[in-house]
């Protein structure tokens, strides 16, 4: 197909391009679903991956996003975002073929090495593709339609991801029954299918026209612009709080899937179903939290949703006593529901509080600073978490209350920490510390927690009376670093949804490839 840069697009051409953007998003989400998340964890475990290796796999994706910064210079030099995005996206798909060959061509340490290096190559090229994709979409999609269009696109992608996740989960459980002892081989068709969907996504990249980039103007360097937020005391406190928060949740979240598969003995379809449940609740509550934060403040929402989420992390320590018991499954279901509720509030409020506190005209640099710190924290935390899990493997801490009478002794075990429990408790403590640091952040309009809870309950009642109005997904997953150099950088006057961010399957789980990362 002919790749061309255009100075002006007609309304019909824009509408046609947006339909292709939606199709590209669906194909990319299919790739993301089949090659990342619980299925990446499952493949790694079937290859004999240690907890440290699971942590490393979880760290690769967020650390890879840091490569968006040097990619900005390539984009500014070539000034052809479509060519860069297509080339990098195609290169990011190729590792899925190599990973699909692992069950038939590699074994042992060699198989695990191919898995790690395949994800490294995928993440590196995906970062380059995303650096070109974000400003390309910003210039293509009419600003007045950003929220509506990308909200619909993300909702459709999320729905497709849920269906594919369930289907793939049941397929893998069926494969284990049909071909016992060949569990790893069952992942090969998933990665081949993910690769093919990735090619379909690249095909639609060819069809989407590229508006011409605005001529460059003299601007401060990226390093200079990134340094400004750290000189702002209030914003530096926010960066500190969000950085510790990112470290805390990524310390434990990548290992939830491992814990359910290995410690609790759940099958893949159960794990996928629980993940989908959490995602569905997340989508439902995004609109609820959004209205509450608009009426009150983002910090107030964080002070309620944050403790709820870290409470969910602590609740994982009670899913065994010390082994799986009658309340394990009900507790796991409750944890996933409350995790979906809390992550919706945390994601929305943590994204928008940065936009609100950034000085007008400098939002891009300030958000880039948050994303830079969060990427480093999210990349280092799983590696530390994997080491902690291995360290605490042979350690235990218990606390038993004993009542002795002349006739008998009665003992109640009130605390029993083993192996994974130490990691979850450590993440809980760090999460509380990040919330403590949030208290130092000043935001106009913040209120007490009880007011937020009252508003949340009222909003839930309104939502329940008309469920058909529950709509799309709003979250800021990645920051488009390319806007730091692009002279037409988008500077919002008030916090909008991160419409140009690429969709990800939601978590908490091992971070997998997102949209053009697929």
Please give the Cα distance from 478 to 246 (Å, whole number).
13
The rounded percent of the chain whose pLDDT value lies above 90 is: 30
Q: Is residue 171 assigned to a domain?
A: yes
Tell me what pLDDT residue 451 has. 54
Q: Is residue 406 assigned to a domain?
A: no
Q: Is residue 95 assigned to a domain?
A: yes
Domain that holds residue 64: 1-218+510-518
Tell me what pLDDT residue 383 has. 92
Q: Is residue 6 assigned to a domain?
A: yes
pLDDT band with cut points at 50, 70 and 90 for residue 29: very high
Residues 198 and 271 reside in one and the same domain: no
CA dist list (Å): 100 to 26, 35, 127, 389: 21, 10, 22, 28
Give the mean pLDDT of the chain: 79
Residues 260 and 167 reside in one and the same domain: no
Residues 146 and 214 reside in one and the same domain: yes
Contact predicate 139/85, CB 8 Å:
no
Q: Is residue 495 assigned to a domain?
A: no
Summarize pLDDT for 256-278 with one digit per residue, the tens: 999 999 889 899 989 999 989 99
Residues 142 and 18 reside in one and the same domain: yes
Q: Is residue 55 assigned to a domain?
A: yes
Quick one: three-class SS letters along 441-496?
A: CCCCCCCCHHHHHHHHHHHHHHHHCCHHHCCCCCCCCCCCHHHHCCCCCCCCCCCC
Q: Is residue 442 assigned to a domain?
A: yes
Tell me what pLDDT residue 399 has. 75
First to last CA, the chain: 22
Please give the Cα distance from 198 to 517 (Å, whole number).
9
Summarize pLDDT for 460-473 with one digit per residue, the tens: 555 444 432 223 32
Nearest Cα residue to 126 out of 177, 67, 185 = 67
Q: How many domains would you assign to the chain?
A: 2
Strand partners, 416: 398
Least confident span in 282-286, 320-324, 398-402, 426-430: 398-402
Concatenate the DSSP letters of all residues of 96-148 into one string.
Answer: HHHHHTHHHH--HHHHHHHHHHHHHHHHHHHHHHHHHHHHHHHHHS-GGGHHH
Summarize pLDDT for 198-242 with one digit per residue, the tens: 999 999 999 998 888 776 555 555 566 667 788 888 888 888 888
Residues 166 and 115 reside in one and the same domain: yes
pLDDT band with cut points at 50, 70 and 90 for residue 433: very high
Higher pLDDT, 385 or 410: 385
Least confident span in 140-154, 222-236, 473-487: 473-487
Higher pLDDT, 103 or 131: 103
Helix (H) or strand (E) holding 49: none
Residues 171 and 266 reside in one and the same domain: no
pLDDT band with cut points at 50, 70 and 90 for residue 167: very high
Please give the Cα distance from 197 to 30 (Å, whole number).
6
Strand partners, 168: none
CATH number, position 123: 1.20.1250.20
Q: What ranges make up the beta strands (E) of 265-333?
A: none
- Average pLDDT for residues 32-48, to the nearest whole number? 91
CA dihedral 432, 436, 437, 440 (to 10 degrees): 160
Examine the pLDDT at 54 and tell me if it is beyond 80: yes
What is the Cα 432 distance to its own chain's centre?
21
Contact predicate 293/349, CB 8 Å:
yes
Residues 53 and 113 reside in one and the same domain: yes
Least confident span in 11-20, 92-101, 363-372: 363-372
CA dihedral 503, 505, 509, 512 (to 10 degrees): -60
Residues 127 and 211 reside in one and the same domain: yes
Examine the pLDDT at 517 and tell me if it is beyond 70: no
Q: Is residue 91 assigned to a domain?
A: yes
């Amino acid at each position: 197909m002919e790749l061309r840069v255009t100075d002006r697009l007609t309304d019909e051409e824009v509408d046609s391009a947006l339909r292709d953007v939606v199709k590209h998003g669906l194909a990319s989400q299919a790739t993301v679903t089949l090659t990342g998340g619980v299925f990446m964890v499952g493949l790694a475990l079937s290859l004999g991956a240690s907890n440290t290796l699971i942590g490393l796999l979880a760290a690769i994706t967020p650390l890879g996003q840091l490569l968006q910064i040097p990619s900005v210079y390539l984009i500014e030099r070539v000034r052809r975002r479509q060519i860069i995005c297509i080339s990098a996206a195609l290169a990011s798909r190729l590792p899925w073929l190599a990973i699909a060959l692992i069950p038939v061509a590699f074994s042992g340490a060699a198989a695990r090495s191919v898995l790690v290096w395949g994800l490294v190559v995928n993440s590196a090229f995906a970062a380059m593709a995303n650096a070109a994709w974000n400003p390309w979409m910003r210039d293509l999609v009419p600003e007045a339609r950003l929220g509506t269009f990308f909200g619909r696109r993300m909702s459709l992608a999320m729905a497709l991801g849920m269906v594919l996740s369930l289907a793939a989960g049941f397929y893998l459980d069926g494969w284990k029954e049909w071909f016992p002892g060949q569990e790893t081989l069952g992942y090969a068709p998933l990665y081949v299918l993910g690769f093919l969907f990735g090619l379909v996504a690249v095909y639609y990249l060819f069809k989407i026209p590229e508006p011409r980039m605005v001529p460059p103007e003299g601007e401060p360097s990226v390093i200079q612009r990134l340094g400004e937020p750290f000189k702002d005391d209030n914003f530096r406190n926010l960066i500190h709080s969000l950085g510790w928060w990112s470290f805390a949740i990524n310390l434990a979240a990548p290992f939830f899937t491992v814990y359910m598969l290995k410690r609790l003995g759940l099958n893949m379809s159960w794990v996928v179903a629980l993940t989908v449940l959490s995602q569905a609740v997340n989508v439902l509550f995004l609109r609820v939290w959004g209205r509450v934060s608009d009426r009150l403040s983002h910090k107030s929402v964080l002070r309620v949703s944050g403790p709820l989420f870290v409470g969910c992390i602590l609740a994982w320590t009670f899913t065994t006593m010390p082994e799986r018991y009658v309340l394990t499954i009900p507790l796991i279901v409750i944890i996933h529901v409350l995790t979906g509720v809390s992550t919706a509030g945390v994601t929305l409020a943590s994204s928008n509080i940065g936009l609100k506190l950034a000085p007008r005209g400098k939002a891009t640099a300030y958000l880039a600073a948050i994303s830079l710190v969060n990427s480093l924290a999210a990349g280092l935390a799983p590696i530390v978490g994997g080491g902690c899990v291995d360290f605490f493997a042979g350690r235990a801490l218990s606390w038993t209350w004993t009542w002795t009478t002349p006739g008998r002794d009665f003992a109640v075990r009130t605390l029993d920490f083993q192996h994974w429990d130490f990691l979850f408790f450590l993440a809980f403590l760090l999460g509380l510390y990040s919330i403590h640091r949030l208290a130092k952040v000043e935001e106009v309009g913040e209120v007490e927690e009880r007011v937020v809870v009252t508003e949340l309950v009222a909003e839930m009642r309104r939502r329940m009376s008309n469920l058909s109005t529950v709509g799309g997904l709003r979250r800021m997953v990645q920051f488009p670093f390319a806007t730091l150099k692009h002279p037409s950088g988008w500077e919002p006057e008030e916090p909008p949804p991160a419409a140009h961010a690429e969709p990800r399957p939601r978590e908490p789980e091992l971070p997998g490839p997102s949209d053009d990362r697929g």
